[in-house]
Amino acid sequence: NAGVTQTPKFRILKIGQSMTLQCAQDMNHNYMYWYRQDPGMGLKLIYYSVGAGITDKGEVPNGYNVSRSTTEDFPLRLELAAPSQTSVYFCASSGGRTGANVLTFGAGSRLTVL
């Protein structure tokens, strides 16, 4: 199993451009999450999904959109990139079943907006 795979690893965007960060998991997990982490800070939850076709906002959703058309994929769309979106983005997944629910994280995507 590859676990959680994120692409691209690095990207530089110009202000106003758009892009999609890809996230895929091969563990048949129901729950998927997007976090961002600014330098020296903790992780902030952007969006999450409890299953295909279901998404919901986290702490910092503004400027982002997500979709969940399949169990495996959870892309994060940035529209009209701004310098404030310069950050490291982490995708995670978990089984979502009752009881303990352990997160598996991807390696991260480092985005710079200039």
Partner 1 sequence: DAKTTQPPSMDCAEGRAANLPCNHSTISGNEYVYWYRQIHSQGPQYIIHGLKNNETNEMASLIITEDRKSSTLILPHATLRDTAVYYCIDPKLNTGNQFYFGTGTSLTVIP
Among 34, 35, 64, 74, the residue binding partner 1 under the rule CB under 8 A is 35
Q: Cα-flanking dihedrals φ and ψ of residue 83, to 5°? A: -55, -30
Residue 74 binds partner 1, judged by CB under 8 A: no
Verify binding: residue 106, partner 1, rule CB under 8 A. yes
Name residue, tokens 């978990």: 94
User: If binding is defined by CB under 8 A, does position 107 make contact with partner 1?
Assistant: yes
Which residues touch 40 (CB under 8 Å, ≥6 apart)?
Answer: none
Q: For residue 23, which of 98, 89, 95, 113 has the smallest C-alpha distance?
A: 89
Binding site for partner 1 (CB under 8 A): 4, 31, 33, 35, 41-45, 48, 50, 56, 58-59, 88, 90, 92, 94, 96, 99-108, 110
